[in-house]
Amino acid sequence: MDVRQLEQCIQEYGKDIYAFCSQLTQNRLEAEELYQDTFLKAVELARQIDSGKNPRSYLASIALRIWKNRRRKYAWRSRIAGTEELTKEIAVGTGAQEFSPEEFVLRQEMQEQVRAAVARLEERYRIPIYLYYTLQLPIGQIAKVMKLPQGTVKSRLHKARKLLKQELEVVFNEA
């Protein structure tokens, strides 16, 4: 892939990759840094990216690898010398549809409940959910990104949905 094709990939898939980074990090600043590092790595690996295959999933796998490496480094450093927990910021997008103020607030609260429930999932369930629903990758591509068999991805998605359903039923039935 040449530079022009890579620029086209950035324009075409940039928003999706940024949304994926935001979901992974749950912090706007970290998401921006991960996004930039992902595309810097993509520039380095431009010759390995095949534009005929799905470059979006390749970019997602780069972002996932960088994020896992950072988490591993952070965990290692915190074992050596404890550090303060970073404050989490979740960017809330506003839709173009018009809602009444009550509907808008209820919708935001519901979205926040869902985001929080997904964030509480174990990493092995959370990442396939992000890849499937945020990037809308097919199961085969998720399996390649995560380097897992397709059956494992399917079972993790099923288990994650089941856990989310249980948790969110309790939350929404109380309301």
Residue 102 has pLDDT above 50, yes or no: yes
What is the spatial distance between Cα 167 and Cα 145, in angstroms, rounded to a whole number?
Answer: 27
Fold of the domain built from segment(s) 97-175:
Arc Repressor Mutant, subunit A (1.10.10)
- pLDDT at position 93 over 60: no
The pLDDT of 101-109, averaged and rounded, is 82
What is the CB-side half-sphere exposure of residue 110 using CA atoms within 13 A? 10
Tell me which residue of 52, 49, 54 sits closest to 13, measured CA to CA. Answer: 54
Provide DSSP, 134-169.
IS---HHHHHHHHT--HHHHHHHHHHHHHHHHHHHH
Q: Report the pLDDT value the prediction gives residue 78, as an integer from 0 to 100.
A: 65
Q: What's the whole-number mean pLDDT along residues 85-89?
A: 36
**Phi/psi of residue 171, nearest 5 degrees:** -65, -45
The answer to whether the predicted template modeling score (pTM) of the entire model surpasses 0.75 is no
Give me the phi and psi of 149, to 5 degrees please.
-65, 155
Q: What is the pLDDT of residues 46-70, one digit of tens each?
A: 887 776 778 888 899 999 999 998 8
**């809330």: which residue's tokens?**
92
**Per-residue pLDDT, 79:** 65
For the segment 11-26, the average pLDDT, to the nearest whole number, is: 90
Q: Which CATH number fits domain 1-82: 3.40.50.300, 1.10.1740.10, 1.10.3720.10, 3.90.330.10?
A: 1.10.1740.10
**Alpha-carbon gap, residue 42 to 47, rounded angstroms:** 9
Q: Give the other-Cβ count within 10 Å of 68's Cβ.
A: 13
